[in-house]
Amino acid sequence: MAFSSAFSNAFAGSGGAGGTTETGAVSVGLAVDVFDPAVFDASGGWVVSLSTVMVGAVDVSARLHGQIDIRAEEDIARIATVHVTPATVSELDGYDSAAITIDLTLTRGTQTGTVRRFTGVVEQVEFDPVSRIATLSCRDGYQERPRACGSAEEVAALFGGLAWPNDKLVPWNSDSPDPASYFAGLQDTFSGATFIDSLGLWRAVPWNIGTPMATLSAGDIFDGSLSVVRPSRADLPSAIRATLTHRLPRLHEAEVALSWTRPDRSLYVTKGIGVLDQATLMSALQGLSDWHIKSEVSLTHPEAPYSYPVIVGGQTVFYQISQQAAAVIIDAFTATAMRRWYQEVANRYIIDIPMGGRSTRDDSVSLAIASTFDSSGWESSRPTEQTIPIFSANAPAGLPLKTGYEGLQAPLPPVNSAVDHLADLTALDVHGAVNHTIARALRRAAAGKRKQRITFQRPLDPRWEIGAVLAVNAYGVSATGQVVGFSDTLDIDSGECVSEITLACPDGSGTTTGFTATVTLPSPSVTHALTAPAMTTHIGSDATDTPATPDPETMFGWLTNTLPTSTHYSASKAVYETQFRVATPIIPAAVRDPLTNDLSVTATITIAGSGITLGAF
Amino acid sequence: MALTFGFYSDPGLTTPAPALLAVPQSKSSPVPADLCLWFGSPAVGRLCQSQASPGVQQIAVSVANATPGSNSPATDVRLSKTLSGLGSATPGASLNLAASVQSGVAHAIPVYVRITNSLTTTGRRSNLSLATQTLVESS
């Protein structure tokens, strides 16, 4: 790091052994310029103004010409222009990038006051070889400070803890740091001004307007210099709306009970309908689209002795099933089908800041964050347990109790309900993003209201720094405001010395500019009460049981047919493809389609200021 | 090689503080002038301690008065590590920063300075300064 002679020698250590150890004391000098306030009195009389300009270590005060201009505003570099006759060519060469300080001294009668008004570096030297005068354009290095930062923490520190960093909305790119851009992002959330003051110190001053440090009356202000400017329509809409949209998946899980029971066994004899075999059933269950069978399927097989009496035509006959066939024939089953799906939800946290303007133009701050989550992968994850029990009896001890959730990817929503999944975000992230958004809107609102300004000129008065609170009570104008800019002009040749000061006098609601916000993350109130259509047995090619026009939308369960050799057979009735049709319920659109929730934020917002009062005309 | 620790003019430790901080003060009913400096080092992996008793003795910032007498007294200066603490700070008292200060922005310590003139005669007084004891900086 290169050190300028204008800066502290505090770092000059005495050296030490070993190369990695240094010793020394650090210090910084203080100078108190005691002045008589009468120096700044604007009453009649005369004032002598002098300036002491140090360029590097050279005092050029005696060789100044023309005007010295110093201009300062919030959030930009302070600039100064001086004209000087260099003593030598080497001195002229030495001006380039030299540190410069400008002290202004006023003498009124026997009283003298000196105020340092500028500390910076010479940005550009323009030399006129005819007049031998060099014009030095100087800046205070405002832009360089953020650019010199090497981390997000360093940039954030420039706001004195009063900005609202948020790595989701204003991320710091470690791979390709852009501190200037990051600084701008944080500045958008800072309800205050940053600048380098007259001493060269970085300042972050909140937009607070409390008790004025001085009250200026008509006698303190040049006649005709006072002006009142109201905010433009663009600066003052009717309201500024801050909206943070948080996109996240709402994870649903629903379960429905599936069951089927065989028809009366007599139909197997009288109509010759087919029996439901296990392979057909399991194929149907495992082939469900989007739905999965949770846990094990409870199967009921014919039981020994596999000979069942049935009444046919008033006679008892026996329906025989072999033991081997019974093992694959299904008399009944119960199962739980489950489905997971995600719903795209946009929670919009909204707050309106009334501005009182008549413009209806939409002036809003809209930001968005998103919970990053592989919702499709989550949705398609399946239970991994066997859908058919391995053991029908005497299962080995110690086997873990199955819950039906084995293999399912977390998170696990409550059964027949839903959960909003923040995924890679936390509740604090959302709160932080909401605060960041409100802070941006507040800065915009406060900045708009602060366009209500008064500007006046008075004899050179370098006492007031940006952020100072002054009151004006002159020419029927009464206002208390904060210095947002000044321009000092000192003419070496004529002796004219003027300060033009601009005060922001917003119509506010207090003495501070800030907010407090309370955010409550919504909790989904969702209850799924889905039911699957009943699954029964549908018999085709049957003179009595087959409808004339079967409705496929209601045909769920076991589809089979009457044998042609049966007396119940009808060649004219519909013949079904033998199969087991499983029905699952439809997911209602309300819990399936993208959803937007508008959520209000409870906040207290204040903008400092008491406005401008104008006397009766 | 010089100390990298020192007073800086910004919390990012990008710019050393000016060698002289000149503050205007009225001789009557002066408005206190508040400044903020940051003590720290932008270097990497450095540690600052007092030389007399490293890690034990506090690194202290004191108000040095080079020429006592009719000049500004040290009691015109108050020091604090917080802005709000300036009001209750003892005039002229030194400020303990820490027994050890690591380099880096995260460890920079703000030093708030409030200057309230007590003199009734005008003119520049440059007799005061802020200074630490002898420090040792190591890696």
CB atoms within 10 A of CB A173: 11
Beta-carbon separation of A31 and B51 below 8 A: no
Q: How far apart are CA B103 and CA B138, in angstroms?
A: 10
- Length of chain B measured in residues: 139
- Buried b / exposed e across A233-258, counting CB within 10 Å, b at 16+? eebbbebbebbbbbbbbbbbbbbbeb
Neighbouring-strand partners of residue A299: A333
The per-residue pLDDT for A576 is: 97
In this structure, which amino acid lies at residue A412? L
Q: Which of A8, A103, A199 sits opposite B6 (nearest CB)?
A: A8
Residue A498 has pLDDT above 90, yes or no: yes
In the structure encoding, which two tokens stand for residue A566, read together? Answer: 């049966």
- Chain B: residue nearest A148 by CA? B14
The per-residue pLDDT for B1 is: 64
- Closest by alpha carbon to A546, among A269, A277, A271, A280? A271
- Chain A: residue nearest B137 by CA? A22
B37-89, pLDDT tens digit by residue? 999 999 999 999 999 999 999 999 999 999 888 799 999 999 999 888 999 99
Give the pTM. Answer: 0.85
Question: What is the band of A49 on the pLDDT scale with cuts at 50, 70, 90?
Answer: confident
Residue A604 has pLDDT above 80, yes or no: yes
Q: Which of B13, B20, B139 to mutate to test the interface with A (most CBs of A within 10 A)?
A: B20
The per-residue pLDDT for A5 is: 46
Say which residue the tokens 């003593």 belong to.
A87
Q: How far apart are CA A309 and CA A542, in angstroms?
A: 23
The per-residue pLDDT for A113 is: 83
Beta-carbon separation of B19 and A7 below 8 A: yes
- Buried b / exposed e across A366-383, counting CB within 10 Å, b at 16+? ebebebebebeebbeeeb
Complex confidence, ipTM: 0.96
Percentage of chain A lying above the pLDDT 70 cut: 96
Question: What is the band of A302 on the pLDDT scale with cuts at 50, 70, 90?
Answer: very high
A349-378, pLDDT tens digit by residue? 999 999 988 877 767 899 999 999 999 999
Interface A-B, measured as beta-carbon pairs within 8 A, has a size of 233
CB atoms within 10 A of CB B129: 21
Residue A608 has pLDDT above 80, yes or no: yes
Question: What is the band of A400 on the pLDDT scale with cuts at 50, 70, 90?
Answer: confident
The per-residue pLDDT for A19 is: 52
Phi first, then psi: what are they for A411, rounded to 5°?
-80, 160
The vertex-A129 CA angle with A124 and A135, nearest 5°, equals: 30
Mean pLDDT over the full length of chain A: 90
Domain residue limits, chain B: 6-19+30-118
- Closest by alpha carbon to A442, among A520, A506, A358, A532? A506
For A406-411, what is the mean pLDDT? 86
Q: Which residues of A touch B123 (CB under 8 A)?
A: 33-34, 112
The per-residue pLDDT for A337 is: 92
For A389-401, what is the mean pLDDT? 77
Residue A417 has pLDDT above 60, yes or no: yes
For residues A586, A592, A593 and A598, what is the CA-based torsion angle, rounded to 10 degrees? Answer: 140
A203-236, pLDDT tens digit by residue? 999 999 999 999 999 999 999 999 999 999 888 8
Backbone dihedral region of A550: left (phi > 0), alpha (psi from -120 to 50 degrees) or beta? beta
In this structure, which amino acid lies at residue A338? M
- Count how many Cα atoms sit within 13 Å of the Cα of residue A203 in the half-sphere of its side chain: 26
Q: Which of A5, A9, A32, A197 to mutate to test the interface with B (most CBs of B within 10 A)?
A: A32
Answer for the pair A295, A336: CB distance below 8 angstroms, yes or no.
yes
Beta-carbon separation of B131 and A145 below 8 A: no
- Length of chain A measured in residues: 617
- Closest by alpha carbon to B119, among B9, B10, B26, B15? B26
A71-124, pLDDT tens digit by residue? 999 999 999 999 999 999 999 999 999 999 999 888 888 888 888 999 999 999
Which value, in Å, is the radius of gyration of the alpha carbons in chain A?
42
Helices (H), A337-400: 375-380
A26-45, pLDDT tens digit by residue? 999 999 999 888 888 777 76
Residue A13 has pLDDT above 80, yes or no: no
- Closest by alpha carbon to B9, among B101, B110, B77? B110
Answer for the pair A596, A250: CB distance below 8 angstroms, yes or no.
no
| B35 interfaces chain A, CB cutoff of 8 Å | yes
Answer for the pair A528, A416: CB distance below 8 angstroms, yes or no.
yes
Beta-carbon separation of A144 and B14 below 8 A: yes
- Three-state DSSP at A135 gives strand
Q: How far apart are CA A574 and CA A562, in angstroms?
A: 11
For A433-443, what is the mean pLDDT? 97
Beta-carbon separation of A30 and B138 below 8 A: no
Answer for the pair A315, A269: CB distance below 8 angstroms, yes or no.
no
A277-297, pLDDT tens digit by residue? 999 999 999 888 889 888 888
A147-195, pLDDT tens digit by residue? 888 889 889 989 988 999 999 999 999 999 999 999 999 999 999 999 9
| B139 interfaces chain A, CB cutoff of 8 Å | yes
For residues A12, A53, A92 and A85, what is the CA-based torsion angle, rounded to 10 degrees? Answer: -160
The per-residue pLDDT for A8 is: 54
